[in-house]
Structure 1
């Protein structure tokens, strides 16, 4: 009976979309845009901008996912992430309802809603590691050429063919700005440093900008490039250590969830109490809430270290 009601509800929603001519992506874009930019008073905006009032967990997760996607050059996928989040929200609530546990429904729905944003955060760590590796090569060859020619534009032109995306695009835009827009090298370097979210790259751009006034400062570029190599070695060692907590957490989740069908095989009376009594359903809801909250902290705390000046 519950399954038939869920199917009827899904058919009603699909019919409403077809009648109104709405696309799921457009609907999710509008919904999440409202969540990101709600109507607030000037006082609330001031408190948020000054840090005295923080955004809620949902809005904070959506903003972080959007920023990470834009930072990694995947900003166009934000609509897809929003659509998947909304779909998982419905799937999580529907699964709990099919199990007959209405206490679990909001927990499963909200927990499944956060899954895409957590996935985006985990993939961002791999993207940053790849960017740092490519930056190490790019800055090394450009710095070597600059020490020889004492001309940053010539150094970039000589090595642009050996660079790989997305770092190569940043340096190509740097050359294009100098040749076609503004020949001011210092302004182009300052504009380039915000194109990649890496503190060592920003420090290199600042040092290169200073070298335009004093060529003797070019010796400071090589130690900056060495920092990328040191960070890569340290992060490689920490990657294994950071993977251990995630692995242990996943194993504990498998054990906790796997005990439910195991209980059905060992003691059907206990299984009935857990699945079909109010007390057991509340315990399941609390357990699921603890799992999702812990998953959020695991994703947040098991990130690679970043250099800060």
Structure 2
């Protein structure tokens, strides 16, 4: 067997392995062994793929809505990202297929920016909520009347919306403080806020529990501080990650300038193009894994 045949065989094996792993064929085979029916296993796998696509689309819409970015601006950024990615792909990889592939990646780039903006917005919201909870806890320890504490400090709160709604409810609709507290809890999606509400509910029957409200706020502050430190580390990692990606995509261009023969082999022959496909697949896989790991400690 000649040297070129060995190269073709290696590329074929690598490509097959990549398709096997990225396409989820191994999961299909596992389902087939468990169920004993090939048709049922393949149907389950297809449903899983469509379910995942639907979830991704739902997450994309939620991301755009959470950041408050106008749809027109988002579409403009997506178009610019696609055009820029296609231009880079064509310049670096020469072939139309790679221009389209990199263009698709470029179209997804605004989602990374929106994810960063949403993380910042959530961090600021948690910080404002924590400050409001601390102010009200201190006031409640003194007054022993939560409604009075909210009335006295409503204009000083950094996160006043749920507390204004609480005052409106207990003053004009239902004077039951416990019902109002549970209703306010449903307005804020935060586990520490829920714990704080639980303590306030217990404090309505046992005044000694009012001191525990500060313990919940302190625990929330500790987690928020850990989240800020984690975000700082993650941003540094992301900078290094994108630097490596830039170097990876610049490699073909470097070959084009310094080693033209190697560049032609890379972009015009089947083994070279297969390696580039594996390169793009590895980039997508690493990006997905990085996004999965970058989960907030507190939302």
Aligned equivalents of 2:80, 2:275: Cα separation in 1:
26
Match of 1:129 in 2: 123
Q: CA RMSD in A?
A: 3.0
Report how far residue 102 of structure 1 moved: 3.9
Residue 82 to residue 240, structure 1, CA distance change in 2 (3 Å): same
TM-score where L is the length of structure 2 = 0.72
Question: Which residue is equivalent to 2:263?
Answer: 271
Alignment of 1:214-293 (within 5 A): 214-293=206-285
Give the whole-Å Cα distance in 2 for the aligned partners of 1:185 and 1:69: 36
| TM-score, normalised relative to structure 1 | 0.69
Q: In 2, Cα distance between the equivalents of 1:175 and 1:223?
A: 24
CA distance in 2, matches of 1:120, 1:62: 14
**Larger of the two Rg values belongs to structure:** 2
Work out whether residues 160 and 171 of structure 1, in 8 Å CA contact, stay in contact via their aligned partners in 2. yes
Q: How does 1:49-198 map to 2 (within 5 A)?
A: 56-68=51-63, 70=65, 72=66, 74=67, 77=70, 81=74, 84-85=77-78, 88=81, 92=85, 96=89, 100-105=94-99, 107-164=101-158, 167-198=159-190
Residues 107 and 285 of structure 1 are in contact (CA less than 8 Å); yes or no, is this contact kept in structure 2? no
CA distance in 1, matches of 2:150, 2:184: 13
Note the residue ranges of structure 1 that are not aligned, 5 or more in a row.
Answer: 1-46
- The count of corresponding residues between Structure 1 and Structure 2 is 253
Give the whole-Å Cα distance in 2 for the aligned partners of 1:285 and 1:187: 58
* 5+ long unaligned stretches in structure 2: 1-43
Q: Kindly provide the CA deviation profile for residues 148-182 of structure 1, in whole angstroms up to 9, marking residues without a partner as x.
A: 11111111111111122xx2222222222222333
Does the 8 A contact of 1:132 with 1:228 survive in 2? no
